[in-house]
Structure formats: C-alpha cells, structure tokens
Amino acid sequence: MRILFYTGKGGVGKTSVAAATALRCAQLGYRTIVLSTDAAHSLGDSLGVDLRAEPLLVAPNLWAQEINALHELESSWGQVQEYLRDLLAWQGVETIAQGELSVIPGTEELFSLLQIKRHHDEGLYDVMVVDAAPTGETLRLLSLPDIMRWWIARLFPIARALLKVVRPVARRVTDMPIADDDVLASAQKAIDALVDVRNILTDQQVTTARIVMNLEKMVIREAQRSLTYLSLFGYAVDAVVVNRILPADVDGHFAAWRAMQQEYAPQVEELFAPLPLLKAPHYNREVIGPAQLAPMAEALFGNQDPAAFLYRGPTQRVERTAKGFDLIVPLPFASEDQVHLAQNADELLISVGWHRHRIVLPQSLARLQAQDAYFEDEALRVVFAKA
C-alpha cells in the first residue's frame, strides 16, 4: 500500500488537495481510500457527499471515510475508560462529569489514527490518502506514540508488579477500585497499536507527507517549521503543495495579493529545494465535487502519478568515522541555538523548539558517548565516541 499524508496550516485548502489527489489516483486505476482525521471533517463537503464512519464508495475506485474519533476511543480505550469512570465515581464525581473526565485530552484524535493501521493491515486498497488535522495538532499527535511507548516500557512492569502485591491487601481495607491485569493489558494493546501506526507512517517505503501552503509569510514560516519537525520525528516529505495561486489578470484588491505572491514565489522555490513544488491556482468558485476536483488534480500533477514517490531525500542514518560513529538527523530550517541534546544510556533526546523526540540508539551507539554535535548540509551530526 502507498500512503500519502497531507498536512498544513488550517485554511490553506489541504482537504481539497487531498480529495483531488485521491480522485486522480482512482482515475488511474488504483483502489483508493481518502480518509479524514481532522475533527473539522470537511472531506465530505469537498467531495460533495455525506460521509460516514465506515468507508463509502463515492466514485469508481474511490472510497472516502470521516473517522468517528469517539467511536475509535471507545473501541480501543473503553476498558481503561470504564475503570477511570469507576474510580471517579468512588471519589464522588457526578455521573454526568465522569464521562468527560475519564477521557485523557487528545486521546480521541489520537485513536482516530488507528484506522490507518486497519486499512494498511487489511490490504483492501492500493493507495490511502490521509487528510490530517492542521499542522500543530498533527505534530502533537504524531509525537504521542513515542511518549506513550516510553512510559509503557518503564512504568507498566513496575505497575504490574506493584498491583500484584497491593491488590489483595487493598481490597481488604478499602473499596477503592483497583485496576485488574486486563485493564493494563488493554492499555498496553492500545498503545502498541498506536506505535504500529507510527511505524507505518515512518516507513519511508510506504508513506510520505506532503505539506500544503499558500504564498503568505506566516504560512510559509509554518511550512518550514513543519518540515523541520516532521524530519525530527522521522517522517519523509516528498513534496510541498502551493495552493491558491492568483492568475496574472487580476486587478484591484487582488492585484496587491498577486504582487505579494509573486514576491514570495521565488523564495519558496529556493527555501524548499530540492523538494518538488506542486501548484494549484486560486479558482473563482468553491472546489466541490469530482467535476471541480478533477481540474485541480490536473493542475497539481499534470502527467505525474500522484502515488509516485516525488522525492527521496536523506534519512536518519549512522556513519562510521575514524573516532567512532556519527548519527545524522536531517533537520531542515533548524539552527544550532534551537537544538538541545541529552543522552541517557541507550536513548538520545533531541529537542527542537517546543518538540522533543527520543531516539532509541542502535547497539553500536548505545555503548558510546555523544561528545559533540554540529550542523552540516541541513542535518544535525551527533558525534559518538568512547568516553
């Protein structure tokens, strides 16, 4: 399966671009599914159909789905949520508030990503196009499986051992609900599935992200940050989509916007090189339904196959040196003063701005010490050698 993951600042036309991409893939004969993980759920509006929580055939070879995040949460986290409700009830929390307080913030959207794993594992489609949430929310969601995996690896063995000792005693002296082993097992199963989603999305033989932007200063800056953070977490980006380009014959108010776009266009070409830029014009009507999406797909891709890998760039890798090894992490647009490193045994914590990523070091690096780090060719090189 080929997975195309579209993200971008809210309001740039990301959903229309994702829908147009999916339509072109279907027209080329690929069995294609386009799904929305965005809570705003405008995919159905873009396609001109009412979508459901399950895939719906909307055109030849094309299925679409708007994920019901609450349903995904209850399916994957229901047992844990039920225990939390019991615990809140024991503490005297009113019934109407138990349902809200038993939901960990962000988990509804997070578990919606499990549909990606479902379709990947079932293998019913050739191409999956994901209309993701706006950039900031998407980056937060994509980093959460790493955090959960870290907590699972360290806390669950302790929790299981502790509960075996505490549970029999606690039940004699208190009526407070104590989590059973199956609650912990359910939590671990759900988190393992989320880690599987992360592995699918970082498999650069399967998945690439595409960043959608407009020719506006704030949007360009956010696209740059998105590329940095996606690279930090190991997600490959194979194209940048420049949407809503004004035509040359506009006048009045739009002439000033056109002049601004013309100023930013060459900057974007330079900033994001060597990534290819896919371009779509600003249409004089809403892009709704296959009849309007088809011209957008033509503008974006021409004779290109949207499912192709449009660019294969450098990836995170390890190189042997005379003194030891270098870990190379591509971080376009990052600067040395933004990056902070910390090593703890077999883990390297890289912080860029507000985002952190834990890299589990291969055995060849885990026994060495990170002694230096510097930037070269838009990549962070971390020098490992014997202490």
Q: In this structure, what token pair is assigned to residue 336?
A: 């040395």
Same domain, 161 and 292: yes
Q: Are strands 127-131 and 2-8 parallel, antiparallel or unpaired?
A: parallel
- Tens of pLDDT, residue by residue over 229-271, are 888 888 899 999 999 999 988 888 889 999 999 999 999 999 9
Among 271-285, 326-340, 346-360, the least confident range: 346-360
Query: How far apart are alpha carbons 220 and 208 in whole angstroms?
Result: 20
Both 309 and 340 in one domain: the answer is no
Instruction: Give the chain's mean pLDDT.
Output: 84
Alpha helices in the chain (DSSP H): 14-27, 43-47, 69-90, 95-101, 107-112, 114-122, 135-173, 181-201, 217-232, 253-272, 290-301, 363-366
Tens digits of residue pLDDT in 144-196: 666 666 666 655 555 555 556 555 655 555 555 556 667 777 777 878 888 89
Indicate whether 97 and 212 sit together in one domain. yes
Domain CATH number, residue 129: 3.40.50.300
**CA-only gyration radius of the chain, Å:** 23
| CATH number of the domain encompassing residue 343 | 2.60.40.790
Q: Which of 296-310, 329-343, 360-374 has the highest mean pLDDT?
A: 296-310
Domain boundary, last residue among 313, 331, 347: 313
Specify whether 219 is located in the same domain as 186: yes
Find out whether 143 and 357 touch, Cβ atoms under 8 Å: yes
The C-alpha atoms of residue 63 and residue 72 are separated, in whole angstroms, by 19
Same domain for 151 and 187? yes
Sheet strand arrangement including 339-344? 339-344, 347-352, 355-360
Q: How many other C-beta atoms lie within 10 A of the C-beta of residue 55? A: 18
Task: For residues 197-224, give the mean pLDDT.
Answer: 94
DSSP code, position 124: -
Identify the domain containing residue 325 by its residue range: 317-385
Per-residue pLDDT reduced to its tens digit, 32-86: 999 998 777 799 999 999 998 899 999 999 999 998 877 766 665 656 666 556 5
Structural tokens at position 334: 């990052």
Tell me: do 205 and 144 sit in the same domain.
yes
Residue ending a domain, choose from 271, 289, 313: 313
104 and 242 both lie in a single domain:
yes
Note whether 42 and 188 are same-domain residues. yes
240 & 362 share domain: no
Same domain, 116 and 258: yes
Examine the domain organization and report whether 293 and 355 are in the same domain. Answer: no
Q: Each residue of 114-134: pLDDT tens digit? A: 899 999 999 999 999 999 877
191/231 same-domain check: yes
Domain count, the chain: 2
Average pLDDT rounded to a whole number, residues 288-292: 96
Residue 77: name the closest of 195, 190, 198, 192 by CA. 190
Q: Rounded CA gap, 314 and 66, in Å?
A: 33
Q: Among 265, 297, 313, identify where a domain stops.
A: 313
